[in-house]
Amino acid sequence: SQQGEEDPQALSIQEGENATMNCSYKTSINNLQWYRQNSGRGLVHLILIRSNEREKHSGRLRVTLDTSKKSSSLLITASRAADTASYFCATDNFNKFYFGSGTKLNVKP
Amino acid sequence: SAVISQKPSRDICQRGTSLTIQCQVDSQVTMMFWYRQQPGQSLTLIATANQGSEATYESGFVIDKFPISRPNLTFSTLTVSNMSPEDSSIYLCSVEDYASPTFGSGTRLTVV
């Protein structure tokens, strides 16, 4: 990808379990964002974390950012079947947004 | 947040032809962006379109293949020229919206 890699590429868990996805990026950033995409449909913005923040919560989502390692993680707690989607991180560099390679999450009911 | 209308939503095109995708925003924006998402892949930035100047293309994308127009602050077009099956992708426009990009619903292009 233009920006970096996400791992794992695919993740399959049972409903109720937690899902953790990781994102690495290459350049310095202003902020990092996570998006969800259901089956090739539109992107849904989940959460934004600024470069001076280390952790952020939104509902069942927890995002961490380590600028020294150029990495971020997205944790979805108590997953649901409806969380099944692809998840992408995106970083902005001079107003251009670059996306990671994405993680396909499958939550089995 | 900004609302983006993108059309067509999908098209099936013959190889060698060109398709122009339109993106209309309900508010004036300085920068508009065009992305490509190949099947099963992440989004790749094609170019940045500023009103009144030529688009800025990312590495691997050229103006001859993906000409872009930006006639005003609410509208842009992306043309996919001389298409081949490898151009089959979803193409999305986006605008920066309070530090988070907002995306159009995308154009699913199939080249046969």
B108 to chain A: which residues are within 8 Å by CB?
A: 40
Closest Cβ opposite residue A43 in set B41, B48, B103: B103
Percent of chain A with pLDDT over 70: 92
Look at B42 and A96 and tell me if their CB atoms are within 8 Å: no
Look at A2 and B41 and tell me if their CB atoms are within 8 Å: no
Which of B66-97 are b and which e, b meaning 16 or more Cβ less than 10 Å from the residue's Cβ? bbbebeebbbbbbebbebeeebbbbbbbbbbb
Q: What is the pLDDT of residues B36-68, one digit of tens each?
A: 988 878 889 999 998 888 899 999 999 999 999
Q: How confident is the model at residue A4 (pLDDT cuts 50, 70, 90)?
A: low
- Quick one: pLDDT at residue B16? 97
Closest Cβ opposite residue A97 in set B33, B41, B105: B33
- Distant-in-sequence, close-in-space partners of A90: CB < 8 Å, separation ≥ 6: A3, A32, A33, A34, A35, A97, A98, A99, A100, B43, B101
Q: How far apart are CA B91 and CA A15, in angstroms?
A: 33
Q: How far apart are CA B78 and CA B91, in angstroms?
A: 9
Q: How many inter-chain contacts (A to B, CB under 8 Å) are there? A: 51
- Quick one: pLDDT at residue A68? 94
Mean per-residue pLDDT, A13-24: 96
Q: How far apart are CA B97 and CA B26, in angstroms?
A: 12
Q: What is the pLDDT of residues A28-74, one digit of tens each?
A: 888 899 999 887 567 888 999 999 999 999 999 999 999 999 999 99
Q: How far is B30 from chain A (nearest CA, A)?
A: 11
